Amino acid sequence: MTTPHGRRPGELGPQGPSYPLPAVHPPDQWFPGPQGHPVRQGPQPHSRPLSTGREMPLPPRNRRRRWPWVVAAGAVVVLFAALVGIGLGSGPTTTSATGSRAATTPARTPAANPATPQLAVPDVQGMTGEDAVATLGAAGFSNVIVEQNGAPVSAPVISQNPLAGHLQDTDDPIRLLAEPPPPVPHREIAARDWQLIAKSPDGHIGERIVVHGHVTQFDTATGLDAFRAGVDAVRHSRTYEYDTNTILRGTAAQLANVVNGDMFRAHVTVRGSYSYETTMGGTLTVPVLGIDAIEVTG
């Protein structure tokens, strides 16, 4: 029998006689423990076997235990899913035609508004504006509008909106129309007064006067509802004495019996002025009169 060094037992070698080496068990290992105290660790089953060369076993691997973190993360996910499920399941559910149930958002309940009582509108036509407002107020209506048309509040009511008997809220508007005042009668004026009006017609808009004149143009250029004439405030026997160029406007019905060259007497309202271009290339500004009534005199 030879030794691992190729010599017989008892044969001298460079370092003395050689004998079989006994089995060597790895010594106990010391590792840092909790709070820095050393902990002895015996032979581990996973260490490599010792050879005759006295190889030391590998130290145990220091593996971190990660399962507590995994468990904690899973618990958070489960808790979040449970909260979401509770939120979705809090509303009412509806069942489809296939029998499946789906969560829906809860319906909003509209705010309750106190109902305004509706009353029948009384008939106030023919009353004065003052009496009509008082009657409607006594009936419970608070929003009455009187359109006077230039008339005083004492003028009679000629129409109302809504009509009598209509049911409506007490704060809805009721409109009354008062009878307009009678028009100011047309007045006869002197020739000088007419010259002042013709000089500045825009300053006399709305005045109602009586004029005389001679038709100088009434054709397709003027149309069926207007003509041009020489006008004065007094009547003349000769056409050339009507020396103020004027435009008179009415309706086709009013002017159906008037033709070019006629002499006339008309009740008119001053409407202002009008400027137009002449055949000579110049601009002419003339008074404009609205025809209320007209008669042919020659």
Residue spans of alpha helices (H) in the chain? 67-88, 129-138, 191-199
Q: Which domains does the chain have, with CATH numbers?
A: 118-178 (3.30.10.20), 187-296 (2.40.50)
Is the pTM higher than 0.85?
no
User: Does an H or E element contain 145, and which?
Assistant: strand 144-147
pLDDT tens-place string over residues 170-180: 999 999 999 88
Q: Above pLDDT 70, what percent of the chain?
A: 62
- The pLDDT, as a whole number, for residue 49 is 47
**Neighbour count for residue 125 (Cβ, 10 Å):** 14
For residue 45, report the phi and psi dihedrals to the nearest 5 degrees.
-65, -20
Segment 276-286 mean pLDDT: 87
Give the pLDDT of residue 133: 93
Q: Which amino acid is present at 19?
A: Y
4-8, 180-184, 234-238: which has the minimum mean pLDDT? 4-8
pLDDT at position 41 over 90: no
pLDDT on residue 103: 46
What does the pLDDT look like over 47-105, one tens digit per residue?
444 444 454 455 555 555 555 666 666 676 667 666 655 555 544 444 444 444 444 55
User: How remote is the C-alpha of 240 from its chain's centroid?
Assistant: 65
Predicted pLDDT of residue 97: 43
The answer to which of 39-43, 71-75, 282-286 has the lowest mean pLDDT is 39-43
Give the mean pLDDT of the chain.
78
Alpha-carbon span 268 to 208, nearest angstrom? 6
Residues pairing with 215 in the sheet? 229
Is the pLDDT score of 131 beyond 70? Answer: yes
What DSSP element (H or E) covers 32? Answer: strand 29-32
- Is the confidence at residue 216, as pLDDT, over 90? yes
What pLDDT band is residue 115 in, cutting at 50, 70 and 90?
Answer: low
Cβ-proximal residues to 151 (8 Å cutoff; 6+ apart), any chain = 178, 179, 180, 181
* Model pLDDT, residue 28: 53
pLDDT of residue 194: 97
